[in-house]
Amino acid sequence: MNLTQRIASWNPDDVLSSNGLDGNTPLLILGIILMVASIIILGMFVYYLYQFKQRKAKVKIKNPIMIYIVIAILAVVLILGIIGVVLFTQSHAIFYDQLKPDTNYGADTAVIALIVVYVFGYIGLFGVMVFIWFGLNKFAISFTDDEIMFLGEKIEYAKITKIVQDNTKNAVYINFAQGKRSYRRQKFSLNSSIGAWVVKHADLSGHPVEIGDEDEYFKTLIRAK
């Protein structure tokens, strides 16, 4: 039976036992997944922060607000996972209705409480994953002797083709080669502190900022492949 079938087979009318909600093992699995996933992501995030901090750089900048948001959300997700596991394993002690021992009221309440906890937990988990994915280059950035370093990513100066400030888009772009015939670019808003910082220190990479049309320049890179 796959997970979808198991979820569909949840029975909120199960009688609470001293060991928790009999027959609703997927509810326990969901709590464990929340705990493990949040610990792994938080561990990797802290590791990359530590690695960034330890690396010597000419100049560096961090966005503490974004960093604290990620750590806070992952901590909340971990706590929700722990709460879910506790509610599952201790459901008899927490939800059993001593006044109505022959009813399933306690089981109904336990399952509803677990579902609410997991809904918030998984929204937080997927939300922070999207936040990290799209904001990876904006948590921290530094110019070292030979590369631009982000959290878990770097751009060697030798692979940078041009740094373009496109005023029509109000952004600065770092264009660079990836592999032998592929090109990528990192975008930073000129209204952000990191974007203004990149413009100020771009000369350290040996590639001073050039004013121009980013899309046109990037198209020339693609056509030249």
Within a domain: residue 44? Answer: yes
User: In this structure, are 187 and 120 located in the same domain?
Assistant: no
Question: Virtual CA dihedral for 37, 41, 44, 48, nearest 10 degrees?
Answer: 180
8-state DSSP, 71: H
Within a domain: residue 54? Answer: yes
Within a domain: residue 143? Answer: no
The answer to whether 153 touches 198, Cβ cutoff 8 Å, is no
Within a domain: residue 148? Answer: no
> What tens digit of pLDDT does each residue of 124-162 get?
999 999 999 888 888 999 999 999 999 888 999 999 999
The whole model's pTM is what? 0.77
At 139 the three-state DSSP class reads: coil
Amino acid at 153: E
What pLDDT does 174 receive?
95
User: In this structure, are 169 and 210 located in the same domain?
Assistant: yes
User: In this structure, are 160 and 128 located in the same domain?
Assistant: no
Q: Which residue ranges in the chain fall short of pLDDT 70? A: 1-24, 92-108, 225
What pLDDT does 9 receive?
44
* Tokens coding 176: 């660079």
Within a domain: residue 144? Answer: no
Pairwise CA distance, residues 34 & 84, whole Å? 9
What pLDDT does 11 receive?
45
At 187 the three-state DSSP class reads: strand
What pLDDT does 181 receive?
77
Amino acid at 122: Y
User: In this structure, are 217 and 179 located in the same domain?
Assistant: yes
Pairwise CA distance, residues 67 & 139, whole Å? 6
User: In this structure, are 54 and 121 located in the same domain?
Assistant: yes
The answer to whether 27 touches 21, Cβ cutoff 8 Å, is yes
What pLDDT does 130 receive?
95
What pLDDT does 22 receive?
53
User: In this structure, are 160 and 130 located in the same domain?
Assistant: no
8-state DSSP, 212: S
User: In this structure, are 177 and 125 located in the same domain?
Assistant: no
> What tens digit of pLDDT does each residue of 93-119 get?
666 654 455 555 556 677 788 889 999
What pLDDT does 90 receive?
78
User: In this structure, are 14 and 125 located in the same domain?
Assistant: yes
What pLDDT does 149 receive?
94
Range of the domain at 182: 155-223
**Number of compact structural domains in the chain:** 2
User: In this structure, are 128 and 162 located in the same domain?
Assistant: no
